[in-house]
Each structure stands twice: as structure tokens, then as C-alpha cells.
Structure 1
């Protein structure tokens, strides 16, 4: 009986050790910036014929789209505001997620209602446009309302973090990456020679609506300084002070929230 008890204790201790290690690894991953998480998740994409072209690392575009145009300036991309002043956006979560994964997604969705007039609600029969949240190949979203059901990909392999959910939802609401802002060159120096060959277009400036908010190094839409680097050297650094921390966000900044509210006149 004593031997059995000791064996059981060892097994329990071993199991808890494994759980603790897994928890530590998960916590470590959770501390990565959103840009690092997205780049890691999309690094080895092998998209099928039904997957969209991506620019900027995680922005889906339709065939023939102008890569340098901001949908919010080139066409109507905002979601409809109702008479009560709220913006209700239906969503559908594919059934291939676990209950834990769904809770991460829903926490990200619900975070918008706490700081804005955006209300994400479950899809209902009769909805004519909605976000279809699926585990496709990588993390990505279209920018702004597309009409009908539009895919927000949150792959089960690497995309299920609070920061990545917020990041992709901000794309769907109409926002681009911070480093592609029209006033980028006044705040960020791009080191083109360090960028992976064929990926320089990820740093092209576009005609963004900046909502009168300052450039934000702490935006959840700002990638980190080694994004798309081919030689482990920085692809972008803040100016004039290269030592300013940037691209380390793990959730929406106050500027992200302010520009969201300004865009939708909350």
C-alpha cells in the first residue's frame, strides 16, 4: 500500500510538473508582442487556392485590389451604426474551436464594447453581413466591411491570443498597420536593405485616415523592429530616438481606442 501511495504521489507530481511547464510556456508566448505572434504564426503559411493574398503580413486583399489604397478613403468600409448609436457587428465562430479557444476569442470580441460603441453579437438568421471567424491558414483579416460573410482567420496554431484577436478585429473595423501610416516617415525609419527579398511591399505607405491621433509606437497595430528581417537586423526604428520602445503592445493602446471611437463617431 505504501509503495502504491508513493507511486501515485510521483505520478501526480509529474503531471503537475508537466502542467506547470505548459503553463509557463504559454505565459511566455503570451508576453510576445502582437507583431511577433503574427509573424510567427504566418511564417510558414502554405495557402490553398481558396485563401486570399496577404499583404503587410496579415491583411487579406481581394484580386485586383489597390495595395496602396485605404478602403476607408477609397470606398465605404465602415460597419452600420444603428439609431441607438451602437454599431452591431454579427459574428459566427466556426465549430472547430475548443471551449477554451472560444473563450479567448469572445474575450477579445467583448473588449470592444467596454471602450467603444462597437457591439459584436452572434450571427442570426437574416444577417446579410458578418464576420466569419475560422481557423484557416494563419492569422489574417480584410480591412473594413466587405459585405456578406468575410473571413477573419484565427488559426488554432498560433493565433489565439487576446492581442491577435484585437489586432485582426481592428483590421476588420477599418484599420491598417501603424507602420504604413501616411505620416510614417516622420516617426519611423525603414531599413529597406534588411527586409526579406520580395517583402518590401509590407512597408509601403498608404493613404490612411489617422483620425487626428498621433503616431503610436505602443499601438497594437505596430509591428516590432525586426519584422520581416532577413538578417536579424532591424527593419525599422523610431526617429529621432532609436532607443524608444515600440512594437511591444499586447493589447489595444489608448490611441487605438481613441481613433476607433473617432472613426465610428462613438
Structure 2
């Protein structure tokens, strides 16, 4: 009888743990980016431009999103501080996240999780599902036009918006998450004039501010050389008024920017930025938080049977 009672208790505890582990908590509305940042007309224009992009276009979808530098949601209280502001780093290098089911198909959710997985495989950063106790988190939405994010950790939740169709692409998710982790665009670096020339005469009037530089009290390269191939670099014709280049590399035979994923220098800078935060998490050898890997494997299983894996390229 005692043995039976013991087994009942064990099973009850196991069931409770499984239920707790699998429970999906919905966060409150994010304080940052919960509302459409565009007017109705501007939202339609942005959505149409991004939807029309294909593999042959040099422009990146985040350059067309109609916000500061294209895709940065500026908070009126924080303006442009970020990468050097320790208060805007994610504690322990861990980012709680929530994907809004109603905004994305299962295939699109898997694209988002595959981008997160690249961070797990190549950096010390971890993403895990949102818990009710979290005071800061990222929520993936697609209820606004454009691809955009805040820069750095914001309290009370922040939106990473991925317009669908158009923005739910591997490299785009990587790019927007680097913003959320604390990075501005590469060509904003204080030393950029040693590596690129800004062709001001080709920039669309009213968009010159997108090519401003930040001084070293706001951003840092952590001693890493300028990265032409960063996923955070503008394309050569960003904000062009005449289809001519707006940025010209001062070194030969280089391509400005890409939308494939993290570059080696992106990884190095991210690791240096979060070195102390990730060190606080040492002792945990699992690179994939259980909640994330359960969600990833569940979605992956939906596609294995018919080999309907998502593609990362732009539509043809």
C-alpha cells in the first residue's frame, strides 16, 4: 500500500512539473511598440514596398520600414543612448520572448526560432519563453507595417515587429534581434569615414539623418575592425533618390551588408558586449533553454513528415 501511495505521489509530481513546464504564459501588452508607429497612409506604403522586394533587390527590408534609420523604434525617454548603457543589457544574457500565435503561421514561427537558434549556436546569448515573473521581454508581432525593433533592453516589454509577408526571413529576424540586444547599424560607427564614403548627393531628401554617426560615448566597436559584411550594415543604395549608391566602400571588392545571418565580427562584438552578463550564468551547460527547445522541436516535427521546411530567401 505504501509503495502504491509513493508511486501516486511521484506521478502527481511529474504531472505537475510537466504541466508547469509546458504552460505558456501570455505577457501584458508591451510598453514599447505596442501601437502602430505609422499613419494609415505611411503604413500602406511601407507594407507595399517591403512586400515587393525579391532576391535581386539590393535594398534590405529594414531600410524601408519608415522609422529612425529605417527600423529603429526610438523611445522618447531614451533617444539615442544604447550600446554603452549597461542598464539596457539583458540580465544574465537571457532574453525572455513570446511569439504571438495569431500573427504568424507555424512555418513563420519556425523561421523565428531558427534565427534564435543561430544565436544559441554561435553566441552566449540565450532566449527562453516568457514567464509571468519577467519584467522585460521581447514579443514578436506582425500587426504593424515594417520590420523594426527598439535598441537594447526596455522595461515592461518591447515589440519586434515582422511584417508578414516581407519581414519573416532568417536574416531579418537576426538583424532585428541584434537591435533588441543593443546594436545600432554598422555605418553609424564613429570611425566609419575611414572605411566608407557617404554620397550625400544621392540620398533621398529628408533622409540624411539616417547616415548620422554616433560618437564614442554612445557606441563602441569593442576594438573590432569595421565590418563591411555585418548583418547590421546598410546596403550600398540605402535611401537612394536616384538608384545610385549612397554608400561607397573605400576598400576594393567588398559587399556592403548581407541578410544571411551573423557575421564573425557581429558575433565577436556581441560576445564582448555580454561577457559579464553571460558569465553570471556560468554553471549552466545547456545552450538551449528547455522551453525553447521544446517549442522548436514541436514546430519542427510539423514539417518533418512532408519535408515542408521554411525557406529563408525573399519571394521570387
TM range (shorter): 0.7 to 0.9
Q: Distance in 2 between matches of 1:166 and 1:248?
A: 11
Q: Does 1:254 align with 2:264?
A: yes
| Structure 2 residue corresponding to 1:223, chosen from 210, 223, 234 | 234
Q: Secondary structure at the match of 1:214?
A: coil
Answer yes or no: is the 8 Å Cα contact 2:100–2:139 preserved in 1.
yes
> What secondary structure, in the 3-state scheme, does the structure 1 residue paired with 2:153 have?
coil
Residues of 1 paired with 2:106 and 2:55: CA distance?
19
Give the match for residue 92 of structure 1: 98
**Mind listing any 5+ residue stretches in structure 2 that lack a counterpart?**
1-52, 279-316
- TM-align CA RMSD: 2.0
2-side partners of 1:244 and 1:257: how far apart? 19
d(CA) in 2 for partners of 1:116, 1:78: 15
In 2, the alpha carbon distance for the partners of 1:80 and 1:64 equals 21
- Quick one: which of 210, 227, 245 aligns to 2:221? 210
Give per-residue Cα distances to partners, 1:50-100, cap 9 Å, x unaligned: xxxx2110011012543xx4312356211101xxxxx22100111221000
Change (3 A) 1:30 1:234: closer
What is the SS of the residue equivalent to 1:179?
Answer: helix
> For 2:259 and 2:165, how far apart are their aligned partners in 1?
20
Q: CA deviation at 1:137?
A: 1.6
Structure 1 distance, partners of 2:273, 2:98, is 24
- The match for 2:208 is 200
1:24 corresponds to which residue? Answer: none
Q: Which runs of 4+ in 1 moved over 3 A?
A: 28-33
Aligned residues: 220
Residue 75 of structure 2 is matched in structure 1 by: 62
Matching residue within 76, 101, 106 for 2:113 = 106
C-alpha deviation, 1:160, in angstroms:
0.7
For 1:263 and 1:195, locate their aligned partners in 2 and report how far apart those are by CA, in whole Å.
Answer: 32
Q: Offset of 1:222 from its aligned partner?
A: 0.6
| Inter-partner Cα distance in structure 2 for 1:196 and 1:32 | 18
> Helix, strand or coil for the counterpart of 1:72?
coil
- Are 1:78 and 1:144, in contact at CA under 8 Å, matched by a contact in 2? yes
**How is 1:39-54 mapped onto 2 (pairs within 5 angstroms)?**
39-40=63-64, 42=65, 54=67
The structure whose residues are more often strand, as a share, is 1
Structure 1 residues 31 and 166: alpha-carbon distance in aligned structure 2, compared to 1, 3 A threshold: farther
Match of 2:187 in 1: 179
CA distance in 1 between partners of 2:192 and 2:63 (Å): 21
Give, in whole Å, the separation in 2 of the partners of 1:75 and 1:197.
35
Please, what TM-score do these two structures have when normalized by structure 1? 0.77
List per-residue Cα deviations over 1:181-221 (Å, max 9, x = no partner): 11111111001111111000100001321111100000000
- Counterpart in the other structure of 1:157: 165
CA contact (8 A) 1:144 1:174 kept: yes
8 Å Cα contact 1:179/1:223 also seen in 2: yes
C-alpha distance in 2 between matches for 1:134 and 1:209: 30
Going from structure 1 to structure 2, the CA distance change for 1:251 and 1:141 (only over 3 Å counts) comes to same
Work out whether residues 181 and 206 of structure 1, in 8 Å CA contact, stay in contact via their aligned partners in 2.
Answer: yes
User: Which residue is equivalent to 1:139?
Assistant: 147
